Amino acid sequence: MAVDLNKENNDVEVLQKNNILVTTLEKIWDWGRSWSFWPLNYGCNCCPIEMLAASAARFDIARYGYEVFRASPRQADLIIVAGPVTLKMKPILERVWAQMPEPKWVLAMGNCATSGGPFKDGYSILPGCDTVVPVDVYVPGCPPRPEALFHGLLELKKKVASGQYTHRR
Amino acid sequence: MSSQQAVIEDISNTWGNQIEVLEDEFFAGVKVPLQILPELFRKIRDEHGFNYLANLTAVDHQDRFELVYHIYSIPDNRKLMVKADVDHDAPSAPSAVSIWPTADWQEREVFDLMGIRFEGHPNLKRILLPDEFEGHPLRKDFQMKG
Amino acid sequence: MLQTEQLTINIGPQHPSAHGGLHVEAVLDGEVVVDAIPHVGYVHRSVEKIAESRTYAQFVPYTARLDYLGTHLPVIGYVQAVEKLAGIEVPERAEYIRVIMGELSRIASHQLFIGSLAIDLGATTGLLYCMRDRERIMDMFEMTSGQRLLAAYMRIGGIAEDLPPEFLPAVRSFVRDIPKMIKEYQGLLYGNEIFQARLKGIGKLSAQDAIAYGVTGPNLRACGVSYDIRKAEPYGIYDRFDFEIPVGSNGDAWDRLMVRNEEIIQSGRIIEQALDQLPEGEIRAKVPRVFKPEKGKSVYHRIEGAKGELGYYIVSDGGEKPYRLHVRAPSFVNLMALPLVSRGGLVQDIIVNIATLDPVLGEADR
């Protein structure tokens, strides 16, 4: 029987009909994943400075469990696209996204990553990183405060824990 | 400053009426024909101590390009602006890299965004845009597809 | 005999110490660097073209996004360039407040420099101390403009709003704490033998090369050239303050760090003098909402940014939008020195050289 895993609303019920052990384990894995994303060191521009401030002592991303920033995409599962995606950066982002193993998520941080931001009418900016990678959470702001980034991360956590995310095998 | 005047006088005396002394209230400068640029730069660097090229850029006036150089002498604390017109249809200018190595990337940027070729530049490639980009965006006739 | 060949590896643009998207193509012979070629353009946001479709006042927030670490400094440079072009005179109180904000931005930029140098070398805790101290400055910016990082607090003709009452005591207490802060960095980082071994003698740049390649700012002063635009060609009211220009002697990475460290102390002196001399009065000149500078006029205004000479070349065509706006970015020009200082060194010193040349890619690429 063919199961369309991309159908967002009822894939959980379909799987439940088929194999209750796997789906229960999936729920436990999702719960675990949501508590400890491993973000990738990725960013160009002003938004990563707020990401840096978020991971420093005052705002402390570690209290949510997300302080393990990995340098290599092969060890990370969350890419926080902080900053604009320029024409030159597009193949880099595509390659880095392809190197990340499943399951993986994208958080678009800042106005430039969401929609092109203030530079939208320029000739070298893509209108948002969702033209390159599938985005799960958008955090607007220019730049968003560290608290806004945490709000975005907690929304992503809710999304992952409930098993609904954009990119799923 | 009297020594600033001496520099401009020296340049005017050497090249006569090819030099137009600019009436700019902020920056003393001269407008020169394009082909004397390498000689002029060598002269002001070696004889007048202008050792620091701060800024090299270009303006698209639609019927011509205008190259603008802002040059400083750090030991004597003097400054000089040099402007030169470049033909709009086949824009090409002599490179200043052999005189001030700092012109390297600045000329590449002018080539990338304005399309002015610099003769004698060791590595004239695009620097800010991807190599396969078509067009020169800072030109006035470049349409931005938003 | 062993047959060896040269290896080309790419450092960045996705890299923990890429400083915002710098790509260095390193050609290596074993661990020795044959060449280190920087590639920029990964953050090119077409700011100069956008400037031609914004009015002079609308462009002010874009300048903050150039050198985003020296928050107010690029904005001050731009509004001063436009004021020069249009012949606008700025009230005294606004000038003093600009100096205070500019020097606080310089301190914040240098603090992040020290922190990111520490984390690039592996001393993660150094970053946390520097970020903690930087948060005090972020709070002060938030008090005045509401924005921590990219505050467009300056306006053409002055500043946006007057200072709130809690600002001045906060600045005074911060300036009083600067010696203690520097002492903490000394104890934590500078005295460490490994830190010194990784910085001393690394990445030497001669004064002649530095000037020929257009390197400015603390990088130039570390080579022994005492050139600071605030003293050489004072802009605003910098000629009223008494401060020294720290100069290094060797031009190596250690000197580049020490020059910036000393500049934090000197900026503290300037802020203190500005606080003592701060007058009452207007904060903004009367400027029409849409003003049109004279046709054909152009201006090149440069300031001592946190990274070096930050210049704005603006050409006006008589309209309300600039005809051409060019930003002379110090980081763009400073990066030309990277191959010079890295050749012949070891591959790990490329990271030290990138960190101590202190490029900000937002500014380099515009």
Measured CA to CA, the distance from residue B146 to residue A11 in angstroms comes to 38
Q: With pLDDT > 70 as the criterion, what percentage of chain C qualifies? A: 99
**pLDDT tens, position by position, C219-246:** 999 999 999 999 988 988 899 999 999 9
B22 or C94: which leads in pLDDT: C94
Of the ranges A63-77, C95-109, C267-281, which one carries the lowest mean pLDDT score?
A63-77
**Is A4's pLDDT higher than 80?**
no
Q: Looking at residue C182, what is its pLDDT?
A: 92
Q: Looking at residue B108, what is its pLDDT?
A: 92
**pLDDT tens, position by position, B33-57:** 888 889 889 888 888 888 899 999 9
How many independent structural domains does chain B possess? 1
**pLDDT tens, position by position, C247-262:** 998 888 999 999 999 9
**pLDDT tens, position by position, A80-123:** 998 889 888 899 899 999 999 888 899 999 998 898 888 888 88
Read off the pLDDT of each residue in C32-51 and give the average, rounded to a whole number: 90
Of the ranges A105-109, B23-27, B128-132, which one carries the lowest mean pLDDT score?
B23-27
Q: Is the pTM of this model over 0.95?
A: no
How many independent structural domains does chain C possess? 1
A3 or C354: which leads in pLDDT: C354
Residue B57 maps to a domain: yes
Residue C117 maps to a domain: yes
Q: Do B129 and A121 touch (CB under 8 A)?
A: no
**How close does chain B come to C13, measured CA to CA in Å?**
14
Read off the pLDDT of each residue in B13-41 and give the average, rounded to a whole number: 85
Q: Which residue of A has its CA nearest to B126?
A: A88
- Cβ neighbours of B79 in C, within 8 Å: 233
Measured CA to CA, the distance from residue C338 to residue C333 in angstroms comes to 10
Residue A2: pLDDT band by 50, 70, 90 thresholds? low
Q: Which residue of C has its CA nearest to A120?
A: C45
Structural domains of chain A in order of their starting residue, each with its CATH number: 37-161 (3.40.50.12280)
Q: Looking at residue B111, what is its pLDDT?
A: 92
Q: Looking at residue C85, what is its pLDDT?
A: 87
Most confident of A4-8, A28-32, A106-110, C150-154: A106-110
Residues of B near A (Cβ–Cβ under 8 Å) read: 128-130, 133, 137, 142, 144-146
Residue A3: pLDDT band by 50, 70, 90 thresholds? low
- Cβ neighbours of B101 in C, within 8 Å: 212-214, 336
**Is B1's pLDDT higher than 50?**
no
Read off the pLDDT of each residue in A39-56 and give the average, rounded to a whole number: 84
Residue C2 maps to a domain: no
**Which of A87, A120, A121 is closest, CB to CB, to B129?**
A87
C366 or C327: which leads in pLDDT: C327
**Is C35's pLDDT higher than 50?**
yes
- Cβ neighbours of C46 in B, within 8 Å: 137
A13 or C48: which leads in pLDDT: C48
The answer to whether the CB of C46 falls within 8 A of the CB of B137 is: yes
Residue C11: pLDDT band by 50, 70, 90 thresholds? confident
Read off the pLDDT of each residue in A4-20 and give the average, rounded to a whole number: 59
- Cβ neighbours of C14 in A, within 8 Å: 40-42, 73, 92, 96
Q: Residue C159's beta-bridge partner residues?
A: C154
Read off the pLDDT of each residue in A10-14 and give the average, rounded to a whole number: 60
Q: Residue C229: which CATH number?
A: 1.10.645.10
Residue A166: pLDDT band by 50, 70, 90 thresholds? low
Of the ranges A148-152, B67-71, C265-269, C282-286, which one carries the lowest mean pLDDT score?
C282-286
**The complex's ipTM?**
0.92
Residue C195 maps to a domain: yes
Read off the pLDDT of each residue in C21-38 and give the average, rounded to a whole number: 89
**Is C357's pLDDT higher than 70?**
yes
Measured CA to CA, the distance from residue C339 to residue C348 in angstroms comes to 14
Residue B135 maps to a domain: no
In the Cβ-directed half-sphere of B55, how many Cα atoms lie within 13 Å?
27
Measured CA to CA, the distance from residue A65 to residue A61 in angstroms comes to 7
Residue B13 maps to a domain: yes
Degrees to nearest 5, angle at CA C164 with C158 and C170: 110
Domain that holds residue B83: 3-91
Measured CA to CA, the distance from residue C99 to residue C77 in angstroms comes to 11
**Is C298's pLDDT higher than 50?**
yes
- Cβ neighbours of B106 in C, within 8 Å: 214, 332-333
Measured CA to CA, the distance from residue C202 to residue C222 in angstroms comes to 13
Q: Looking at residue A13, what is its pLDDT?
A: 63
**Is C343's pLDDT higher than 70?**
yes
Q: What's the burial of C263, exposed, middle or buried (CB within 10 Å: 0-12/13-18/19+)? A: buried
Q: Looking at residue A108, what is its pLDDT?
A: 92
Residue B2: pLDDT band by 50, 70, 90 thresholds? very low
**How close does chain C come to A75, measured CA to CA in Å?**
14
Tokens of C77: 């440079």
Q: Do C132 and A58 touch (CB under 8 A)?
A: yes
**How close does chain B come to C54, measured CA to CA in Å?**
15
Q: Which residues of C146-176 are buried (b: 16+ CB within 10 A; e: fewer)?
A: ebbbbbbbbbbbbbbebbeeebeeebeebbe
**Cα C212 off chain centre by:** 21
**Is C286's pLDDT higher than 90?**
no
**Which of A43, A73, A119 is closest, CB to CB, to C46?**
A119
HEC secondary structure over chain C? CCCCCCEEEEECCCCCCCCCCCEEEEEEECCEEEEEEEECCCCCCCHHHHHCCCCCCCCHHHHHCCCCCCCCHHHHHHHHHHHHHHCCCCCHHHHHHHHHHHHHHHHHHHHHHHHHHHHHCCCHHHHHHHHHHHHHHHHHHHHHHCCCCCCCCEECCEECCCCCCCHHHHHHHHHHHHHHHHHHHHHHHHCCHHHHHHHCCCCCCCHHHHHHCCCCCHHHHHCCCCCCHHHHCCCCCHHHCCCCCCCCCCCCHHHHHHHHHHHHHHHHHHHHHHHHHCCCCCCECCCCCCCCCCCCCEEEEEEECCCCEEEEEEECCCCCCCCEEEEECHHHHHHHHHHHHHCCCEHHHHHHHHHHHCCCHHHHHC
Give the strand order in the sheet containing A137-139. Answer: A78-82, A105-109, A137-139
DSSP state for residue B144 in the 8-state scheme: P
Residues 6+ away with beta carbon under 8 Å from B40: B11, B15, B32, B82
Q: Looking at residue C167, what is its pLDDT?
A: 92
Q: Looking at residue A168, what is its pLDDT?
A: 55
Q: Looking at residue A16, what is its pLDDT?
A: 57
Q: Looking at residue B17, what is its pLDDT?
A: 80
A23 or B140: which leads in pLDDT: B140
Q: Residue B73: which CATH number?
A: 3.30.460.80
Q: Looking at residue A11, what is its pLDDT?
A: 59
Of the ranges A4-13, B69-78, C90-99, which one carries the lowest mean pLDDT score?
A4-13
Q: Looking at residue B68, what is its pLDDT?
A: 92
Q: Residue B73's beta-bridge partner residues?
A: B78
Residue B19 maps to a domain: yes
Q: Looking at residue C169, what is its pLDDT?
A: 93
- Would an 8 Å CB–CB cutoff place C52 in contact with chain A? no
Q: Looking at residue C106, what is its pLDDT?
A: 93
Q: How much is the mean pLDDT over chain B? A: 86
**Is A22's pLDDT higher than 80?**
no
How many C-beta neighbours within 10 Å does residue B146 have? 9
Tokens of A4: 């369309």
Q: Which residue of C has its CA nearest to A50?
A: C149
**Is A169's pLDDT higher than 50?**
no
Domain that holds residue C118: 7-360
Read off the pLDDT of each residue in C137-141 and give the average, rounded to a whole number: 91
Q: How much is the mean pLDDT over chain C? A: 89
Residue C365 maps to a domain: no
Q: Looking at residue B146, what is its pLDDT?
A: 41
Read off the pLDDT of each residue in C10-39 and give the average, rounded to a whole number: 84
Closest CA to C365 of C18, C43, C15, C149: C43
